[in-house]
Amino acid sequence: MVPVNKQSHLRPLSTINQVNKSISILKSKPKIKRSMWSRRAQEYDAKITSGKIYELAEVVRDLNKGDDLMVDQSYSERQLFEKAYERILSEFQIVMDLSLEDTKKKLDKALKRNLEIQAPKTETKDQEPVVAPE
């Protein structure tokens, strides 16, 4: 069960079809609003606490900055993103019956996060250390 609102009412878990639609929302282009941050933050928080998985996916998509997290996000923006990301991650994990790591990879792939960072790491493991001649 997933919280619907602050009074701790619960809704049933999403279906696999709802999760798949959420993934397509995550893959879609972010909708950037030009209103004041305080107003957008209230809207994002309302969507997060609404308990609706599609609205949660929209928040994650819109606040996702890919690998440039530190560059463009304020502290409060990062906090909202992490709150929404953790909620959608936990629901995806339960519905898709995957490990946390596999669910995270699937979610990050949909968001195009960390793909460039992971590739070089696997390459460096295969290389032997270079020893300088004496």
d(C-alpha 13, C-alpha 19), whole Å? 10
Identify the three-state secondary structure at position 122. Answer: helix
pLDDT in tens, 72-113: 678 898 899 999 999 999 999 999 899 999 999 999 888 887
d(C-alpha 37, C-alpha 3), whole Å? 25
- Decide: 1 and 14 in contact? Cβ < 8 Å: no
Identify the three-state secondary structure at position 57. Answer: helix
CA separation, residue 57 to residues 18, 66, 83, 107, 118 (Å): 11, 15, 12, 10, 24
- Decide: 99 and 26 in contact? Cβ < 8 Å: no
Residue 99 tokens read as 């490990």
Q: What is the mean pLDDT of residues 104-127?
A: 63
Single-letter code of the amino acid located at 100: L
Q: Which domains are seen in the chain, by residue range?
A: 2-124 (1.20.58.1290)
Residue 119: pLDDT over 50: no
pLDDT of residue 31: 87
How many residues are there in the chain? 134
Q: What is the mean pLDDT of residues 56-81?
A: 82
